[in-house]
Amino acid sequence: MSITVETLKSKVIIFLNKNNISNKSKILVAYSGGPDSSALLWLLNDIKDDIGFAISALYVNHGIRSELEMSNEIQQVKSITNSLNIKIEFENIEHGFIKSESIRTGRSIEDLARKYRYSFLDKFKKNSNATHIAMGHTLDDQRETLIMRFFQGSGIYGLAGIPEKRDIIIRPLLKVDKNELKDYLKLNSIPYVIDKTNLDTVYLRNKIRLKLIPVIEDIFPGYKKSIGIFSEKMDMIRSALSENDKIPDIYVTENGDSWFFKSDYINLPEYLQVEIIYKSWDIWENKPFNRLPYKFLSNAIGYTSGKASNIILDGYNCRLIRDKERLIWKRVVVVSDKKSYLRVITVGEYELFPGFYLKIEEKSEFEKDVIWFNREKLSSPLLVRSRISGDRINLAEGIKPIKKLFNDWGVMPDERWKIPVIEDRKGILAVIGKPFGYSNRIAFNYKNCRENTVNLVISANYMENISE
């Protein structure tokens, strides 16, 4: 038997012993059929008789890829688990459901897929009486997560990285490099499937792995070791803080709104106030976006019960409000009327108001005078809406208030709500004026970013013969 196999088995056994996996343990493996989870399944199956624990598996079809591709993959997964005599359960999400939910809620496909995956794991854990859920995260996943969280401005808890163990979730391969797993799979002729979406850079993690990390590695060849040391330091700080300070409990209402006690929050030091706001946001089921900027959330730091207003945070279609003794997240529903509109948009056709249609298409070739954006440079969700007070767009001549732009065009005040403003999470991308006899204006940083990739092309049609 090769040294690679013995080394890997040793690492996993040490992990299992450290986390009290015994002959009474029942491990539910999150199995996708990919290389990481396949290596995990084989290693645990190889070790189970030595320790005496039991294994079962769960496969979740997220309904994102084509039905033919998924059907072939599921058949291969069944064949693999049958060969190991491992019981596996399957959970199928309706094809296209997650994508439609992403459009409806503004949350990323990655975030929603993770949400449903973990909910199914929890359900099957209870049904199978599993004591642990094993995930196939590797050291490469840890590095990608730390890079992503650093650039997203995470705090100490986030920069400590993915934990090896959290509650009943265990990650036996978290300190194993993916190349070690590839060698293990090859040496033992272990079959696995390839998820083609892992090469699609529309997903943030793929973009980091395929585009950003090669640049980092070129500039900092020793980045892997440095990131590992950084994570260990942050974890030590997190542990030290946890010994002295504890984030108070966060609760969830029956309709999915998260909340915590006002008195708990007021008495926290500021760095823990930040953490409880982030944590409560993360577990809030009704949040309109996946993430919010720190600049917005930081407005709640230092809140005291002496403040007159019951609204602590207000923006991004949500509010953190004081409700008696609670601080609770509430979603603000934007009600469209004939004088305003707000829509989350993706590929398709939309009627924004009677007679006015907006069409979004994916194209690589298109006319020069249309509005288009490189899909990979957008930060979901993409919105179309009426102008609101304070809107500004970054043009070649500088940042310009949209109100002044409309003044320059000579748009009548009672007609201004009709002219569409396009924005993503980074800001305003364009103002569509052409259907109304004006010019289209595109944000300067998006105007000249044509690449050989898929673009979102936006066209509008104003049918004036249809009365309002």
Contact 359, 408 (CB under 8 A): no
pLDDT for 137-150, tens place per residue? 999 999 999 998 88
Residue 160: pLDDT band (50, 70, 90) is confident
Specify the higher pLDDT residue, 45 or 351: 45
Distance CA 15, CA 378 (A): 40
Write down the pLDDT at residue 409.
Answer: 93
Distance CA 331, CA 322 (A): 14
Write down the pLDDT at residue 159.
Answer: 85
Write down the pLDDT at residue 455.
Answer: 75
Nearest-10 Cα torsion for 341, 344, 350, 353:
0
Q: Could you tell me where the beta strands, DSSP code E, fall in 85-131?
A: 87-92
Contact 66, 37 (CB under 8 A): no
pLDDT for 168-188, tens place per residue? 899 999 999 998 998 999 988
Distance CA 122, CA 432 (A): 46
Residue 30: pLDDT band (50, 70, 90) is very high
Other beta carbons within 10 Å of 405 = 21
CATH of domain 3-237: 3.40.50.620
Residue 448: pLDDT band (50, 70, 90) is low
Has residue 107 got a pLDDT over 80?
Answer: no
Q: Write down the mean pLDDT value for the chain.
A: 83
The first and second tokens of residue 180, run together, are: 């070690």
Write down the pLDDT at residue 336.
Answer: 46
User: Which of these ranges, 108-117, 238-247, 333-342, has the smallest mean pLDDT?
Assistant: 333-342
Distance CA 449, CA 31 (A): 39
Mean pLDDT of 358-373: 76
Going from the C-alpha of 163 to that of each of 38, 55, 145, 211, the distances in angstroms are: 21, 22, 11, 25
Has residue 104 got a pLDDT over 80?
Answer: no
Radius of gyration, CA atoms only, the chain: 25
Other beta carbons within 10 Å of 317 = 14
pTM of whole model > 0.85? no
Pick from 344, 340, 378, 347: nearest CA to 362:
347
pLDDT for 194-236, tens place per residue? 887 777 777 788 889 999 999 999 999 999 999 989 888 888 8
pLDDT for 291-319, tens place per residue? 677 888 888 888 876 655 788 988 877 88
Supply the DSSP symbol for 434. G
Mean pLDDT of 421-437: 86
Residue 452: pLDDT band (50, 70, 90) is low
Three-class SS state of 94: coil
Write down the pLDDT at residue 399.
Answer: 83
Write down the pLDDT at residue 356.
Answer: 85
Residue 102: pLDDT band (50, 70, 90) is confident
Share of the chain above pLDDT 90, in %: 25
Write down the pLDDT at residue 26.
Answer: 92
Write down the pLDDT at residue 464.
Answer: 44
Contact 329, 284 (CB under 8 A): yes
User: What is the sign of the dihedral through the CA atoms of 112, 282, 30 and 56?
Assistant: negative
Write down the pLDDT at residue 344.
Answer: 76
Mean pLDDT of 157-162: 84
Per-position DSSP letters for 361-401, written without gaps between them: EEESS--TTSEEEEGGG--SPEEEE---TT-EEEETTEEEE
Write down the pLDDT at residue 381.
Answer: 72
Has residue 261 got a pLDDT over 90?
Answer: yes
